[in-house]
Amino acid sequence: MYSGYTFVSTLAPSRPLSGPARLARLCHHRWALPVLSALHTGEAGGRIAPLLRRLGVARPSLRRTLEGLMAEGLVRPNPGYGHPLRPELVLLGPGRKLAPACAALLAAASDAGARDAVLCKWSLAALAALAAGHARFSALAVELGPVTPRALALALRRLETAGLVARAVYDDVPPSVLYGLTPAGRRLGQLAAALPV
């Protein structure tokens, strides 16, 4: 059972986090949204072994993800577990509100053929930040909070390759670059911005 683990957040912000930054904290573990979605839809029955098989995730990765979700107050071990048909994991109140939105977002990402690109830590937060409109790289970095320039550049490149983000270069002195959502990325950006994190 996973209740004996402790989780120490590496993010200790000095100011309140914006919506996209809170989303990045939730997506710190790649499997957080798929786990919430699977618990909501009942695909794994709230059991560890079916979750491992369904998601194709390694046991240590699932353990770290569950520790993070427990630390956020979204999931907890079932106190009544003991019978083979009872779930090992249950969604808490905030998790019950968030899980349906995660399922809808992952379904839309699969339809767009961009599920892998969306599951990376800063990708979903960048989509949520760009849902408000075009932005420069520096404005995105400020909106996302504790992101490094390299991590943000990789996330934007990954989203651009997936066809969700468009990069426009303007021939100014110095040259300026604006990032915006493509029509395919607009739907995912709206879903990401609407997640109740």
Does this model's pTM top 0.85?
no
Query: Does the pLDDT of residue 135 top 80, yes or no?
Result: yes
Query: Does the pLDDT of residue 55 top 50, yes or no?
Result: yes
Average pLDDT over residues 52-65: 91
As a whole number of angstroms, the distance between CA 21 and CA 25 comes to: 6
Q: What is the pLDDT of residue 16?
A: 55
Check residues 124 and 145 and name the one with the higher pLDDT. 124
Q: What is the pLDDT of residue 98?
A: 93
Decide yes or no: CATH 1.10.10.10 for domain 19-193.
yes
DSSP-derived 3-state class of residue 72: coil
Query: Does the pLDDT of residue 160 top 50, yes or no?
Result: yes
Cβ neighbors of 49 (< 8 A, separation 6 or more) are none
> Mean pLDDT of all residues in the chain?
85
